[in-house]
Amino acid sequence: MANLKNSENNIPEKICEKIKHIAFIMDGNGRWAQKRLLPRSQGHVAGLKTFTEIVKYCFKLGIANVTVYAFSTENWNRSEEEVSALMGLLEKNIDENADELIENGIRIIFLGDKTPLSKTLAEKMKRLEERSSHNKGILNVAVNYGARDEIVNAVNALISENKTAVTAEDISEHLYTKNSPDPDLIVRTAGEKRLSNFLLWQAAYSEFYYSDKLWPDFTPADVDLALENFMSRHRKYGGY
């Protein structure tokens, strides 16, 4: 999976040179379920299937870093029922799919503070990070992630190292994403056009792509559309 190139689509081979990191704000699971008169948790079940398919596809294209926003620091504001359904799905997914990811050369890193999570879930997450740490393709899964929390956490870590002045590099190196370059492309589904506290620091020069599709309806062909669009853009970084 990680080192395979895809030859069945229109994405040129050079894609993985131009895009080292793609990030997804997987939005719209709730609306997908509501449209079908299903409980929101069923939308998350469908969203998990999409997550698996899209992540595999991105690695198949040769993209070295893939990040997904799975649960934000603000998502605790949802009902206890929905939060526990989401946590349950995460745990089940680790139990059932971790081995396949590891065998396919993927390193899983969870972005976010694990402290408020259940002890069992936090342990499983840590264990998976350790078991996959030798792999090269990075899958960052943001769980209890908030970019403001991440920056505060980085600053506090620097203070505890007795730093009295810091550089931008110091901050980058203390973020949860320290193992990945900044995202080249951030894709958000379900028609919303906001960051919702995702990668605020790292997104300084990211390109953005919005899809009206709800996350459970998002397909590899939609990834192709996003990448084709990305490839046509001219990134200037303040220059020309």
Q: Which residues are marked as active site? A: 27, 75
| Contact pattern for Mg ion over residues 67 through 106, marking x by CB under 5 A | ----------------------------------------
* Using rule CB under 6 A, residue 190 touches ligand IPE: yes
CB of 209 vs Mg ion, minimal distance in Å: 17
| Contact pattern for ligand IPE over residues 84 through 123, marking x by CB under 6 A | --x-------------------------------------
Q: Give residue 239's Cα distance to chain centre.
A: 29
Task: Indicate the SS3 state at residue 105.
Answer: coil
CB of 117 vs Mg ion, minimal distance in Å: 20
The token duo for 215 is: 């996350």
Query: What gap in Å lies between CA 127 and CA 98, rounded to an integer?
Result: 10
Nearest to 178 by CA among 159, 155, 154, 196: 154
Residues recorded for the chain = 240
Q: Out of 27, 182, 184, 222, name the contact with Mg ion by CB under 5 A.
A: 27
CB of 159 vs ligand IPE, minimal distance in Å: 28
* Using rule CB under 6 A, residue 71 touches ligand IPE: yes
CB of 28 vs Mg ion, minimal distance in Å: 6
Q: Which is nearer to Mg ion, 27 or 222 (CB)?
A: 27
Q: How many CA atoms lie within 13 A of 155 on its CB side?
A: 8
Query: What gap in Å lies between CA 195 and CA 31, rounded to an integer?
Result: 19
Q: Give residue 67's Cα distance to chain centre.
A: 2
Judge contact between 128 and 98, C-beta under 8 A: yes
* Using rule CB under 6 A, residue 51 touches ligand IPE: no
Q: Which is nearer to ligand IPE, 173 or 192 (CB)?
A: 192
Considering CB distances under 5 to 8 angstroms, the limit depending on partner class, which of ligand IPE, Mg ion, none binds residue 69?
Answer: ligand IPE
Torsion 166-167-169-172 (CA) sign: positive
* Using rule CB under 6 A, residue 26 touches ligand IPE: yes
E strand residue ranges, 157-222: 185-188, 207-210
E strand or H helix that includes residue 108: strand 106-111
Stretch that binds ligand IPE, among 56-64, 66-74, 115-123, 156-164 (CB under 6 A): 66-74
> What is the contact surface with ligand IPE in residues (CB under 6 A)?
25-31, 69-72, 75, 86, 190, 192, 194, 196
